[in-house]
Chain A
Amino acid sequence: MYVAVKGGERAIDNAHQWLAEERRGDTGVAELSLDQIRQQLGLAVCRVMAEGSLYDPDLAALAIKQARGDLIEAIFLIRAYRTTLPRIGHSEPVETSAMRCDRRISATFKDLPGGQVLGPTFDYTHRLLDFALAAESEGLAEVAQAAPDPAPKPRVTDFLDRDGLIQPEMPSDATPPDMTREPMEYPAERPLRLQALTRGDEGFVLGMAYSTQRGYGRNHPFVGEMRVGTVPVEMEIPELGFAIEIGEVQLTECETVNQFTGSKTEPAQFTRGYGLVFGHSERKAISMALVDRALRWEELGEDRTGAPAQDEEFVLSHADNIQATGFLEHIKLPHYVDFQSELELIRKLRADALAATQKEAAE
């Protein structure tokens, strides 16, 4: 039974007004602009775009401001906005091999063609708080520049593939399933799993990936390659009869090279895990690749060890932080009637039990 509880409108309005005031904070401190958020909290913007599943840095910055920096709340705002947008179409699959790379590293080949490019990375920093930033008088050192290298940056997995050392990817332009249009169905094909993982919660996907490293569905990953940069997005325009670039997006791509033992009929080959995420998000891309690989156990003829990261229904149905937080947080909203019935039940049980004991004692 559902019983609406009325009342509280004035309290709710007042609460929201106070929320707006708290969001603004001390008015003696300058207000944050969306440009500041986009420029100076860029990785938060990236996370909101990736998990909000909508690439738009301006909207992500607005959501972060409105949510007071609560990124899951910001992702919720973006997801809600996304549902109001008509779907114009879909792009051609992006060509990550043609990425304009800010960063491109391999943990497997030192001297790979195109080189190791560190880019703007936290790696090799000492993780010591920099109190100079607190002084807000950050003098920027001149950033070094060098002649850009025109050499292409081929994929590491391509050289392994050429020598037959890694299990090949089979190109397919089949229309992929879209979990934003149809309910999830299990067993899920790999394209559906990749969609769910790329928009999944970074913390959850990280935890699942970490569990495989600790032995729950171990798959011996090497980061064959990770690249961060921009790719153009192309879409076929029906009224023009040709494809145009409708913009460009920043992506992080991670390809892992994983151990695999061959069989009597097949020689030993490496296998792959794949991560591709909107924005600059290395932790998420590597995590996605590890979990993608763990979920491929059946296709690769591995044993199911009972590890959580091998259970696609468990992984995919708990990866979405908006579904999760929606269900979790609703329990703080009024459940007075539900609770009243439970309370009556427990009183009745206790009364019955008491009556039975008293009867027993009397006999």
Chain B
Amino acid sequence: MLDQTGPEMDRKSWMGLLARAPQARLDALLRQVGGLPAHDWLRPPETGGVMVRGRAGGTGAAFNLGEMTVTRCALRLTNGAVGHAYVQGCFRAHAERAALVDALMQTGRADEIRSQVLGPLEREETERRAARAARAAATKVDFFTMVRGED
């Protein structure tokens, strides 16, 4: 759950960040660094359901809570780098862009992608979360006890 900042971000972290990213923003950032590179599909985008599990009592036996939509794909850039994506929702374009970023991160352009695409996505997500956390913090109850009685 810790937010991993730029340089330490590993593949697991950036795939998660891409899965949660707003599709339009990911698309815009990718276009700013030269658009969508040519690629072949290893697995064209496919939308399916993932059964989300919970635990009884939060810590006990696993149970099936319900499904969520996920779109996945795999592709290969012309230089051979392979990218995978599993993103939340039904948008094929989102999965494609996420897989392109994953593939580009295996190439010499990794630093550029990290600073120009992943960095902004992560900062914006952190800001969105902080904005909610700040609002929640303002609704925290400070109990005080009324002093009553005559003595």
Contacts and interface: CB of A to CB of B under 8 A. Distances in A.
Chain A bound to chain B: yes
Interface of A: 49-50, 53-56, 58-59, 82, 85-94, 96-98, 100-103, 110-111, 115-120, 143-149, 155, 157-158, 169-180, 190-192, 194-195, 198-199, 232-233, 235, 237, 239-240, 242-249, 253, 255, 272, 274, 276, 278
Interface string B127-141: 001111111111111
B63 interface: yes
Interface residues of B, number: 54
Closest 5 CB pairs of A and B: A247-B88, A169-B60, A245-B16, A191-B63, A169-B57
13 contacts: A55-B67, A59-B69, A85-B67, A145-B135, A147-B134, A180-B64, A190-B63, A191-B56, A192-B63, A235-B86, A242-B12, A247-B19, A274-B58
Contact of B62 (A173, A179, A248): A173
B134 A115 contact: no
Among A179, A195, A242, residue most surrounded by chain B Cβ atoms (within 10 Å): A195
B120 to A, nearest CB: 19
B84 interface: yes
B46 interface: yes
B86 A94 contact: no
A232 B136 CA distance: 19
A132 B139 CA distance: 24
A276 B62 CA distance: 12
Contacts of A157: 57-58
Contacts of B20: 245, 247-248
Given A54-B66, A101-B136, A246 B19 contact: yes
Interface in B6-24: 11-12, 15-16, 19-20
Interface in B121-151: 129-141, 143
Contacts of B62: 93, 172-176, 191
Interface stretch (B25-33, B47-55, B110-118): B47-55
